[in-house]
Structure 1
């Protein structure tokens, strides 16, 4: 493993860990740009999902009380999401993954751009259990089809004026569960070779430390600023995804 490879892996782990600690998702968004320079795509994704799932456990701990007091809300997203994963995998047999990613990227850019320009964010307060379940199901389908499980839940939660801990208590468990199942599927396919495990051993400590820095920032953010962060993340996510697929 060359010095350049080590530097890129460490940089990707640090960037992904920081944003995971700050927002509760987004490891792949910030880490893959570094990892894909030194790893083939399948290997890079295999490393990222492990980092995302294990690093995300720290975020789960800081919102454990919000998770405990909102179990039904989380279940409305998570259970349909898990059911949607195999549906997304099946959908790959007749869907073009690249076209799907470009479509989702365009939607993220429009959504993030529109709400980033608004001085006041919407306050969608009434309970919507059926819509929550549909968003969770769609997130699972997108996760299985294109590794985009967090896109729709992120957009939906950003519309709700929930305290930041309650918002994260939905997004982080959802993403950790979906990514853990993805890691298990990749392990079943033999993706975790000796070289891949070496990359994980190098990246994981860096990612965990960087996530602690992100968590420290998260603790200091007001609720409104965290909602703004989610909106900005949708715009950044869509732009990066669009560029990655087009270039």
Structure 2
């Protein structure tokens, strides 16, 4: 890897870490748009999962004072169930139609949320949480967006920003554990990929640290709008990634 390529790789890791530190998710959305141009898709997917363990683990540690596994476990359990289901049914769905449909739903939700006041808090039971988690995992298996639905469901409850992150970050961590184990079983953890991971760690950690510092200064409403803006970006990324004339 020459100097220019490494600089681009490291900068993406720094920004991805910052976004994750600030919002608790979306690191993969940020880095994939850059890394897919300079390293292979398999390396990109493997690094995102590996760095996801780092970013979510760091977030869980920083928010350990508000961590409540009673709130997180139903979503986590559902997510573990849903990931292989999503991967399994992917072969039977048109990926173009799927990405477009999910992208449009995220756009509508994010635009609606940004255009109106805070949603009225909802009370969601354990059974519904497991179902939400299954949907979250299925979406992750189908599109790679493994934390979107759980993040949205935490917004619906009207929890403070710290509590929201203390719930959806453990769910994301569990999702990345499942994904990483699957990748390891598939043999994607090559020596070259592990070297790339080690090279990017300092930049990812620096971004995480600075993002979390900024997170500590913002208000709940600012956090809500930040999450909605990132969901908007996620929806756009799904739609833009569709090759031209794919609907013909």
The bucket for the TM-score relative to the shorter chain is: over 0.9
5+ residue gaps, structure 2: none
C-alpha separation in 2, matches of 1:133 and 1:61: 24
Structure 1 counterpart of 2:37: 37
- Asked whether the 8 Å contact 1:158–1:231 carries over to 2, the reply is no
CA shift, 1:214, in A, is 0.6
What SS class does the counterpart of residue 220 from structure 1 fall into? coil
Shift of 1:191: 0.9
Question: Which of 129, 146, 159 is the matching residue for 1:149?
Answer: 146
Q: Mean Cα displacement is larger for which, 208-217 or 151-160?
A: 151-160
What is the DSSP-based 3-state SS (H/G/I as helix, E as strand, rest coil) of the residue aligned with 2:77? helix
Matched residue of 2:39: which SS? Answer: coil
Deviation at 1:210, TM superposition (A): 0.5
Q: Pick one of 157, 160, 171 that aligns with 1:174.
A: 171
Q: Deviations over 1:30-55 (max 9, x none)?
A: 00111011112111111111111112
> What is the Cα deviation at residue 204 of structure 1?
1.5
Could you tell me whether the CA contact under 8 Å between 1:63 and 1:165 is conserved in 2? yes
Matched length: 244
Give the whole-Å Cα distance in 1 for the aligned partners of 2:124 and 2:92.
Answer: 35
For the 8 Å contact 1:86–1:141, the answer to whether it is kept is: yes
Instruction: Quote the offset at 1:66 in angstroms.
Output: 1.7
Structure 2 CA distance, aligned partners of 1:229 and 1:132?
23
Spell out the pairing of 1:113-124 with structure 2 (5 A cutoff): 113-118=111-116, 120-124=117-121
- TM-score, normalised relative to structure 2: 0.93
The answer to whether structure 1 residue 228 and structure 2 residue 186 are counterparts is no
For 1:1-247, what aligned pairs fall within 5 Å after superposition?
Answer: 1-67=1-67, 70-118=68-116, 120-246=117-243
What's the CA shift for 1:241? 2.3
1:246 and 1:63 mapped to 2: Cα distance? 40
Q: CA deviation at 1:137?
A: 0.8
State the distance in 1 between where 2:185 and 2:22 align: 31
Q: Contact 1:11 / 1:34 at 8 angstroms: preserved in 2?
A: no
- Deviation (angstroms), 1:17: 0.5
Q: Which whole-Å CA distance do the structure 2 matches of 1:98 and 1:10 have between them?
A: 31
- Cα distance in 2, alignment partners of residues 184 and 96 from structure 1: 26
Q: Aligned-pair distance for 1:246?
A: 4.0
- SS of the counterpart of 1:93? helix
What is the RMSD computed on CA atoms of the aligned residues?
1.5
Displacement of 1:131 in angstroms is 2.6
* Contact 1:53/1:180 (<8 A) preserved: yes
